[in-house]
Amino acid sequence: MDINEYAGQDATGLAELIRTGQVSADEVRDTATAAVTAVDGELNAVVDGPWTSATIAPDGIDGPFSGVPFVFKDILCHAAGRPTRMGTRALSDGVTFDHDTELMARFKRAGLVGVANTTTPELALSSATVSALSGVTLNPWDATVTAGGSSGGSSVLVATGAVPLAHANDGGGSIRIPAARNGLVGLKPSRGRISLGPDQQEVMSGNAVEFAVTRTVRDCAALLDAVHGSIPGDRYGAPPPARRYVDEIVAPGRRLRIGVCTADWSSVPVDDEVADEVNRVARTLSELGHTVDIVAPRIDWDAMVAAFNTIWCFGTAPTVVALAEQSGAVIDENSFEETTLLSYRHGLTLGPLELATAFAEMNAISRTMADFMGDWDILLTPTASRVHVPVTHLADGGVPATSEEWVRRVLAEYPLSALYNITGAPAISLPTGWSPDGLPIGMHFGAAVNGESELIALAAELEDALPWHHRRPPAHVTTRAAAATAAGR
C-alpha cells in the first residue's frame, strides 16, 4: 500500500478500504510496520516493536476497525503474552500477563491490529514523555518542544501518520496534554465509562481513565462506541448513551451554553497566542449559534494541587512496592527515578487524616463544578497555557525538594487538566489552531459528568468549521518515506 494513501486515511477510512477489498489487511499492517519504524528512529516513540505479526485481532474478527493498525501505551492495558514495562527500569525486561485486560479484549473485538507498545514516563507520572528506561520522546512538529505526556509515544505515532489512532490513558491530563502538543483529538471519558477490569477497580482513587488519541472526531466516536461499558465487579459505571456516539456527528447538535475562561490558574501565564486562539474559537462557537460568555469557576488551584499530590502519592507508594516485589528490584535510584521515589516516600507517610482531607477537597471541587455546570453545558479553556515549552522543562531547577513541588511542576503548564480527573467528568482537547510558527494549539472543552455526547457533537461542529486534517508535522511518514526513497537513488 502506498504510504501517502495509507497516511491520508483515518481509521474509519482504512477499515472501509479493507472491508471493500480495495486493500488487504496484510498490506495495511506491513505499511504500518514500515511507517512506525521510519519515525521511531527519529522520534523515539516505541518501547517494544514494531511487531511482524498481529498481536490482536486474529483472522475471522469482524469489527468496525478490522485490520486497522493500532499501538498501545505501555501501561494498564495489556495483551496476554506481551511484555509491558510501565516506563520503569524496575521492569526493564518486561512483565508478561496470562490474560487480556477487558479493554484489550474490546480492542480485539473491534478488529484492531497491534503494531507496537509506546513510550510513557515512569508509571505515567509526568506530563512529559521522558524516562530513564526509554529516553526522550520527541515532538514531530518541533523536536525542541515537549511532546507532552504521559501518552506521548502513542500521540507522536498518530500525529506522524504511522497509525491512525492509539491507546492512551489519563490520570491528570495524559490523553489531552499530548493530544494538544501533537495536534490530535484527545477525549478523556467520564469515570466508569470504560472498564479497568479485571486487574483494577480504580487507579489513583478513581482519577485515571482509559481510552485513546485520534486524528478525527469520527474515529474518536466510533472507537468509544466499540469499547465503552462496565463489567461485573467494576467499582464505577456510567449510564449508556441515549444513542451511538457516531450518531452525534451526523445529527444536528443542540445549541449549548458555553463558558469561556483564560485565567492564569497556576504560576504559568497564558500566552497571548493561546488566548487569541481561545477568543477565535469562542467567536466561531457564537457564529455557530451557541451562547458564549466569559466565566470564572471558583476553583482554588493550590488546594487542588495539594489534594492531588496526596492522591498521587497514595497511589504511587503501593505501586512501587508491588513492582519491586514482582521484579525483585530494590527500591532505590537504580530501579526508580528520583521523582517517583519522592512520591513513594511521601505516600508511605500518609495516614487516614491526610487521606480524608484530600478526599474532602476532591468532593468539594466536584460539588463546586457540578453547581457551575448547572448553568453551563461546556467550559472552554486552553489545554496548555504556553506553546513553546522546552523538552527539558520539567527538569529545570533540578530535582524538586518535595512531591508536591513535583506535582505542581507537572501540572503547571496544564492547570485545569487534573480538574476533570478529580470530578470524573469528560473533557476533550481539539487542535483548532496553530501558532504563527506552525505549532498546534489545543483547546480544552469540559462537560458535565457523562456528557461525552455533547462533547463529540460539538467537536464534530468545530472540525467542520476549523478543519485540521490538512495539517501535518514536518516529521511525517510521507516526508520520511520520500527522503528515504531519495537517499536510495
pLDDT of 1 reads 94
Per-residue pLDDT of 385-425, as tens digits, reads 999 999 999 999 899 999 999 999 999 999 999 999 999 99
CA distance 28 to 13: 12
Helices marked H in 424-473:
452-465
Look at residues 108, 129, 111 and name the one whose alpha carbon lies nearest to residue 120: 129
Cβ-contact 455, 430 below 8 angstroms:
no
The alpha-carbon radius of gyration of the chain (Å, integer) is 21
For strands 257-260 and 378-382, give the pairing.
Answer: parallel
Distance CA 115, CA 80 (A): 15
Average pLDDT, the chain: 95
What's the distance, CA 447 to chain centroid? 17
Question: In which element (H, E) is residue 187 found?
Answer: strand 185-188
Determine the pLDDT at residue 124. Answer: 98
| 219: helix, strand or coil | helix
- At 347 the pLDDT is 98
Supply the residues annotated as catalytic: 73, 150, 174
H/E stretch holding 31 reads helix 25-43
Q: How far apart are CA 375 and CA 456, in angstroms?
A: 20
Q: pLDDT, tens digit, for every residue of 450-482? A: 999 999 999 999 999 999 989 999 999 999 876
Q: What is the pLDDT of residues 111-147, one digit of tens each?
A: 999 999 999 999 999 999 999 999 999 999 999 999 9
**How does pLDDT run across 70-127, given as a tens digit for each residue?**
999 999 999 999 999 999 999 999 999 999 999 999 999 999 999 999 999 999 999 9
Give the domain range for residue 251: 3-488
pLDDT band at 484 (very low <50, low <70, confident <90, very high): low
Q: Supply the CATH number for residue 83's domain.
A: 3.90.1300.10
Q: What is the mean pLDDT of residues 1-14?
A: 97
How many domains does the chain contain in total?
1
In angstroms, the CA 387 to CA 434 distance is 9
pLDDT of residue 401: 96
What pLDDT, in 10s, does the model give residues 30-70?
Answer: 999 999 999 999 999 999 999 976 554 555 578 999 999 99
Q: Which of 148, 150, 158 is nearest to 184 (CA)?
A: 158
Measuring CA to CA, which residue among 31, 9, 28 is closest to residue 68?
28
β-strands 291-294, 257-260 pairing: parallel
Q: What is the pLDDT of residue 489?
A: 37
Contact present, 29 and 67 (Cβ < 8 Å): yes
Residue 377 has pLDDT above 90, yes or no: yes
Kindly report the number of other CB atoms within 10 A of residue 382's CB atom: 26
Beta strands 291-294 and 427-434, pairing class: unpaired
Say if residue 302's pLDDT is above 60.
yes
**Judging by DSSP bridges, how do beta strands 209-214 and 291-294 pair with one another?**
unpaired
Residue with cell 478529580: 422
**Contact at 8 Å (CB) between 153 and 47?**
yes
Q: Does the reported pTM lie above 0.85?
A: yes
d(CA 428, CA 130): 24
Q: 210-228: per-residue pLDDT in tens?
A: 999 999 999 999 999 999 9
Which residue in the block uniquely carries the three cell numbers 521515589? 341
181 close to 127: Cβ distance less than 8 angstroms: no
Q: What stretches of 288-351 show up as alpha helix (H) in DSSP?
A: 301-327, 338-349
> What pLDDT was estimated at residue 480?
84
Task: Tell me whether residue 53 is exposed, middle or buried, using C-beta atoms within 10 angstroms of its C-beta: 0 to 12, 13 to 18, 19 or more.
Answer: exposed
